Amino acid sequence: MLNLILILGCIGLELASANILLLPTNCFALKSDECPNWNITFWLHTHDNPEGARFTESDRFLPGRQLHVLIHGYAGSRTASPNRQLLPLLIRNKNVDVLSLEYTNLVVDPCYSEAVHNSRIVGRCLAYLLASAGADLSKAHLIGFGIGAHVAGFAAKMLQKLNKRVNRISALDPAKPLYLTDDIQARLDKSDAAFVDVIHSDVFFHGILRPLGHVDFYPNSGISQPGCGDISQMTTYQCYHKRAADYYAESITSPVGFYGFYCKNMISYMKYECQPSANIERLGYNARPTARGSYYLQTRNEAPYSNGKDFSNLDRNLTGKTFLGDAFVSMLLKQPN
């Protein structure tokens, strides 16, 4: 399994290195970690104000309200994933506040290495705002997509230094390149919040394979998501990556839900060494805070994707499903567990 992690890490680093060679004039890495920073803005959305209003360190969160924080990823914005999928659903609740981050200037494509550097400072400034504006962290839920998942982790780590603990982090396909490290101070980790749940939807390209949370879900093996296109096209993997946010959004309102069954790792899953059992957990918004381990599930082929507790359509075959090729899949099956 270690060899597999190293191989996938090298793939991610090669992608990041390719981006470094294409730096446009608007690429920059922040030299100061001081907060507030004009490149990072915050917008508060409510049921009565769905478009949102600027929110600063001098404002105050209202007590007693659930707070969700939405954090976009690389080349994103506050109107992209996960906001596009989640915001309309979350603000249906009149007792919920949704805080959106906007740090587009700091994650410009193709400035990936700068984006990774800047993500630490974005997390720091988010922590500064939450502490300054009196957020009730016992009711705080950070939801980050791609690089945004690590931003959530960095914010939570900074708050811990202030003796404050975030209640929950939901990580939607956390980014892999330059975050594949055993140093938990340099990436999202389950120690960052009281409960960390993760959805992995593109582990061979944008996302990270290794478990990062208290509970990690791998829909469709975490590799190939239905209806995204040909595996030779970059847009296909962007679709895989964003599908984590789609599944999470659907989980908020789904009457049947997404359920996965326990398996210790992907190799065991691919080798049929684990089967559906009573050890199942619900993916997404309604995940149990006591859930622990890695869980695998198959979705439906079109929206709505949730399949409930039906595991009859499991497909563990990866032949023809990844740009890495079938020879790579064969090598995976030879890996020790």
- Model confidence pLDDT, tens digit, residues 215-236: 999 999 999 999 999 999 999 9
Q: Which residues contact 205 (CB under 8 A, 6 or more apart)?
A: 11, 15, 176, 237, 240, 241, 323
Residue ranges per domain, the chain?
Answer: 2-333
- Model confidence pLDDT, tens digit, residues 65-106: 999 999 999 999 999 999 999 999 999 999 999 999 999 999
- Model confidence pLDDT, tens digit, residues 115-127: 999 999 999 999 9
Mean pLDDT of 45-67: 96
Quickly count: other Cβ atoms within 10 Å of residue 232's Cβ. Answer: 7
Across the chain, mean pLDDT equals 91
Q: Which residues contact 120 (CB under 8 A, 6 or more apart)?
A: 33, 154
Q: What's the one-letter identity of residue 276?
A: P
- Model confidence pLDDT, tens digit, residues 282-304: 999 999 999 999 999 999 999 99
Mean pLDDT of 274-281: 95
- Whether this model's pTM surpasses 0.85: yes
Which string of b and e fits 307-319 if b means at least 16 CB within 10 Å? beeebeebeeebe
Taking the C-alpha atoms of residue 254 and residue 276, their distance in angstroms, rounded to an integer, is: 21
Q: Are 106 and 95 in contact (CB under 8 A)?
A: no
CATH superfamily to which 2-333 belongs: Alpha/Beta hydrolase fold, catalytic domain (3.40.50.1820)
Residue 25 has a pLDDT of: 58
Taking the C-alpha atoms of residue 105 and residue 295, their distance in angstroms, rounded to an integer, is: 36
